[in-house]
């Protein structure tokens, strides 16, 4: 995703929960700059499981010299949380706390950065893109009632995903309901005359599901990664 954005000339600020001076982070940034020939790729620290860290990042951005923002892409809730088998009570509780923390940070960052989006010129095309996991359909029959503690993890993930989709849809309705100044028409002299048609917001909030990923969906679900807690040889073979 970062490569696709950078190759199109975007000014990218990627957030990471690792120190920005870490070799693993600097190597990725340097490689992207060299491959895409785009020097406007930067990494900033922000732990999207911590509301305090999220607030600090947003404050730093809003008080900086450059506060133009054309898009916010939330991808931190795409990775699957919770294994399909051999989950203890503590592991289930930890997984649910992680889901809640990630969703809270999505809402908090949206709320804190919203003022700079609302004051942007009306002709600017702005996107809020929410990348969700593909289990949202599993939660449809019972939504909005939350799944029980004994429900399989894909139901919990589906509930979180669908809840996030509903949030983005609600945001869009709010944006469209706000009074918007019409964008100037360069082909007419009377650019200051408002259009009679209902104005739609220049901010578009959408949810996107990239589908199933072997690394981000299947591997955590089956405990198939050797570096993950509770590694399962059976899960890796499966």
Q: Which pLDDT does position 21 carry in this prediction?
A: 93
Residue 95 has, within 13 A of its CA and on its CB side, a CA count of 24
In this structure, what are the phi and psi dihedrals at residue 204, rounded to the nearest 5 degrees?
Answer: -120, 120
Residue 117 has a pLDDT of 93
pLDDT at 200: 81
pLDDT of residue 33: 97
Separation between Cα atoms, residue 102 and residue 146, nearest integer Å? 17
**What angle do helix axes 89-118 and 51-62 make, rounded to 10 degrees?**
20
| Whole-number pLDDT of residue 190 | 41
Specify the pTM: 0.85
Q: Is the pLDDT of residue 48 over 90?
A: yes
């Amino acid at each position: 995703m970062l490569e696709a954005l950078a190759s199109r000339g975007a000014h990218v600020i990627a957030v990471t929960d690792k120190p920005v001076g870490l070799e693993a982070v600097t190597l990725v940034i340097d490689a992207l700059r060299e491959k895409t020939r785009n020097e406007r790729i930067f990494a900033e620290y922000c732990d999207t499981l911590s509301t305090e860290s999220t607030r600090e990042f947003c404050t730093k951005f809003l008080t900086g010299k450059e506060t133009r923002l054309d898009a916010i892409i939330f991808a931190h809730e795409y990775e699957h949380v919770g294994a399909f088998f051999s989950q203890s009570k503590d592991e289930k509780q930890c997984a649910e706390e992680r889901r809640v923390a990630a969703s809270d940070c999505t809402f908090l960052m949206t709320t804190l950065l919203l003022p700079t989006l609302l004051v942007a010129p009306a002709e600017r095309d702005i996107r809020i893109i929410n990348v969700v996991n593909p289990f949202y359909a599993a939660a449809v029959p019972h939504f909005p009632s939350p799944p029980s503690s004994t429900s399989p993890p894909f139901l919990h993930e589906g509930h979180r995903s669908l809840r996030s989709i509903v949030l983005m849809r609600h945001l869009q309705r709010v944006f469209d309901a706000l009074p918007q100044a019409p964008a100037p028409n360069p082909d007419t002299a009377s650019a200051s005359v408002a259009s009679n048609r209902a104005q739609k917001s220049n901010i578009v909030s959408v949810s996107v599901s990239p589908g199933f990923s072997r690394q981000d969906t299947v591997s955590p679900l089956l405990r198939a990664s050797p570096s993950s807690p509770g590694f399962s040889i059976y899960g890796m073979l499966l």
